[in-house]
Amino acid sequence: MRVFFALWPDDAVREQLAPCAAALRLSSGARLVPARNYHVTVAFIGEVTAGELDALREVGALQRAAARCVSRPAAARAPRPLRAHVTLARKVSQASVQQELSALERRAPALTLLRSDTGAPHSIYTVVDTWPLLYEAPRA
């Protein structure tokens, strides 16, 4: 099974992202991601066994610690720079010129470990576990 850590936004954030996705000019073969699947990927882990999934659930502390739990050859799990991102479309052959986006309220209540099933026309994400995030009070 394929897994990754993500910030799973609430419906209000998804509603803010939907017009951004709708404004994309996509090439043929590209497809929009359903709004219910919007998330911020924090650390992509990849294919894991059931035992490794159990270890990842215990970790809940992002890529460096998670990589030690996965039994791939060292070269295959060399650390990659963090590239937090929101996927709005898939199968895009060339990125379109992006208009400047207005600020979005970016709050997610938890860090989430998700399983990605990619056999259907759209990926199906299943929540494996969550860990609450703490937010600082806004500064006046």
Indicate if the pLDDT at residue 9 is higher than 70: yes
Coil vs helix vs strand at 28: coil
Global pTM reads 0.59
56 vs 3: CA distance, rounded Å: 9
DSSP 122: S
Is 9 within 8 Å of 125 (Cβ atoms)?
no
User: What local confidence, expressed as pLDDT, does residue 49 receive?
Assistant: 92
124 vs 114: CA distance, rounded Å: 10
User: What local confidence, expressed as pLDDT, does residue 98 receive?
Assistant: 58
Q: What's the half-sphere exposure (Cβ side, CA atoms, 13 Å) at 19?
A: 9
State the Rg of the chain over Cα: 16
Indicate if the pLDDT at residue 137 is higher than 70: no
Tokens describing residue 89: 């479309």
Is 65 within 8 Å of 59 (Cβ atoms)?
yes
Give the containing element (helix H, strand E) for 67. helix 63-69
81-109 tens-digit pLDDT: 555 667 777 777 766 555 555 555 556 67
